[in-house]
Amino acid sequence: MREFDLVLHGATGFTGQLAAKELSLYAPPALRWAISGRSEHKLQELGEKHAVPYLVADGLDAPAVQRVADSAGTVISCAGPFQEFGTPLVRACAHAGTHYADLSGELGWIWQLIQELHPVAQERGACIIPASGFDSVPSDLGVYTLAETIRQSGDAIGDITGFYRLKGGLNGGTLASGVSQSRHYSPEDLQHPFLLDPDPTQSWDNRLMPPEREKVFEVRGLRSFAAPFLMAPVNERVVRRTAALLSGTSNDYGNDFCYSEFHRSSDKAKAKQISAALTMTNWALNKPVLTKLIERFGPKPGEGPSEQVRTTGLVELTLLAGDIDNPGHRLDWFFPGDPGNTVTVRCLVQVGLSLAAGESRATGLQTPATALGARLTERLFERDALLNSA
Ligand SMILES: NC(=O)c1ccc[n+]([C@@H]2O[C@H](COP(=O)([O-])OP(=O)(O)OC[C@H]3O[C@@H](n4cnc5c(N)ncnc54)[C@H](OP(=O)(O)O)[C@@H]3O)[C@@H](O)[C@H]2O)c1
């Protein structure tokens, strides 16, 4: 029995405060939850607002984060960039057998965690789920759900292709994480398509890759055009880790499975603009002088989009199985609210509540789908009517 069922770390940041509000609205009344972070005065104010206790713990203070990990059954974290402040807390949770989830989309850091902490987390009974925000919960659970539908129809699970239509704004914390990743890893370090697999060196050769496509291409089945998607490198690799971890189980995606993901636009010219903007962003993030300018003129850590932008935002995910112009199966999910805050916080909080309720099915470094599977989808449904059709 720990002092708290759940601790929200990094609670005083932009997403952290939204997560605290979400918990205060949706946590079961009996849940013993608390907040933690580095700034005592902000924690005190937030703690009073939600009538919850707080713990002071700088992410780089190993004994302090150990106290957080020891005090809780589950920790969820919004304290990023995770590459900069995140590792001691995940390490402490893995060793204490404390379940943990966060908002990281920092591929290199997640890879590092898998290398260091998967065995110890398994041994101590901790379920660790990075990428529990907009990246990569909808993609990972969407593929898991569609794969189940295909399996039940008796068809084989082959190519699944994801298309996102999005509306929202950019957080300073997200920008800081992108800059941090570019400082620690080169694009070559992260290009391996199976980077997050249990053994990337083996799976490179014997797993299928998605078909090669033009940068911008027409998707007749959706009457749309597709462009490269900013979060695809993370989402695709998380989904592939899920496929690898499920291999040999009753949820096996099969040997013909592969996944790729794109941005969707109804207009070809807009799709070309999205593609060009992404190429420019990736180029700029790898030029130290330009990253300094991005940091200077972009939104700062602690800043994020207005309430109006957040509430009028949206996430639409469509997954097509087989030929994208004539798909055999299809899944459409709609999430109201902006991807980087409203949807992100909803996902993280439901992952945390599910872990705190003892619903995880695996230990070690997991993905949302391998750890919580259909139960997490149900929770997201229960939280709101999210699913349009499957
Ligand atoms: N997965 C997704 O879809 C998604 C979406 C949005 C954001 N994110 C990620 O989530 C993270 C947070 O984003 P955000 O917009 O909330 O950023 P933010 O407003 O800058 O918040 C960062 C949080 O980290 C805390 N922090 C900073 N240094 C710390 C340290 N040394 N020890 C402990 N806490 C520390 C900050 O504390 P103070 O309040 O004291 O400054 C703050 O609570 C970022 O990494 C971002 O990339 C992911």
- Ligand 1 centre to CA of 315 (Å) is 22
Whether 233 is in the pocket of ligand 1, judged by its Cβ within 6 Å, is no
Question: To which residue do tokens 């189940």 refer?
Answer: 148
Task: Quote the tokens at residue 190.
Answer: 């992260």
Question: To which residue do tokens 């002092």 refer?
Answer: 3
- Ligand 1 centre to CA of 386 (Å) is 26
Q: What is the CA angle 218-221-226, rounded to 5?
A: 30
Q: Output the pLDDT for position 289.
A: 81
Q: Whose CA is nearest to atom 15 of ligand 1?
A: 173
Give the CA diameter of the chain: 58
Whether 368 is in the pocket of ligand 1, judged by its Cβ within 6 Å, is no
Give the span between the Cα atoms of 210 and 155, in whole angstroms: 19
Ligand 1 site-directed mutation target among 8, 15, 39, most atoms within 8 Å of CB: 15
**Distance spanning both ends of the chain, measured CA to CA:** 40
Is there a contact between 15 and 103 (Cβ–Cβ < 8 Å)? yes
Ligand 1 site-directed mutation target among 45, 60, 78, most atoms within 8 Å of CB: 78
Q: Output the pLDDT for position 383.
A: 67
Q: Output the pLDDT for position 33.
A: 98
Q: What is the DSSP string of 318-331?
A: EEEES-TTS-SEEE
Q: Output the pLDDT for position 204.
A: 56
Whether 42 is in the pocket of ligand 1, judged by its Cβ within 6 Å, is yes
- Exposed/middle/buried for residue 185 (C-beta within 10 Å: 0-12, 13-18, 19+): middle
Which pLDDT tens digits describe the chain residue by residue (390 residues)?
899 999 999 999 999 999 999 999 999 999 999 999 999 999 999 999 999 999 999 999 999 999 999 999 999 999 999 999 999 999 999 999 999 999 999 999 999 999 999 999 999 999 999 999 999 999 999 999 999 999 999 999 999 999 999 999 999 999 999 989 989 998 888 988 899 998 766 655 666 788 889 999 999 989 999 999 999 999 999 999 999 999 999 999 998 999 999 999 999 999 999 999 999 888 888 888 888 888 888 899 999 999 999 999 999 999 999 999 999 999 999 999 999 999 999 999 999 999 999 999 999 999 999 999 999 999 997 866 544 443
The type of residue at 340 is G
Q: What is the DSSP letter of 343?
A: I
Is there a contact between 167 and 148 (Cβ–Cβ < 8 Å)? no
- Ligand 1 centre to CA of 10 (Å) is 6
Whether 10 is in the pocket of ligand 1, judged by its Cβ within 6 Å, is yes
Task: Quote the tokens at residue 28.
Answer: 């079961």
Question: To which residue do tokens 């794109």 refer?
Answer: 262
Give the span between the Cα atoms of 329 and 147, in whole angstroms: 9
How many CA within 13 A on the CB side of residue 301?
Answer: 14
- Ligand 1 centre to CA of 43 (Å) is 14
Q: Output the pLDDT for position 168.
A: 95
The type of residue at 291 is T
Give the span between the Cα atoms of 162 and 181, in whole angstroms: 24
Rg of the chain over Cα atoms, rounded to whole angstroms, equals 20
Task: Quote the tokens at residue 69.
Answer: 């990990």
> Taking phi first (over 0 means left), then psi (-120 to 50 degrees means alpha), and beta for anything else, what does residue 267 get?
beta
Q: Output the pLDDT for position 390.
A: 36
What is the dihedral sign for C-alpha 52, 58, 64, 70? positive
Whether 66 is in the pocket of ligand 1, judged by its Cβ within 6 Å, is no
Give the span between the Cα atoms of 23 and 349, in whole angstroms: 7
| Nearest atom, ligand 1, residue 82 CA | 45
Query: Is residue 337 helix, strand or coil?
Result: coil
Q: Output the pLDDT for position 202.
A: 63
pTM attached to this predicted model: 0.96
Q: Whose CA is nearest to atom 21 of ligand 1?
A: 13
Task: Quote the tokens at residue 316.
Answer: 């639409």
Whether 177 is in the pocket of ligand 1, judged by its Cβ within 6 Å, is yes
Query: Is residue 384 helix, strand or coil?
Result: coil
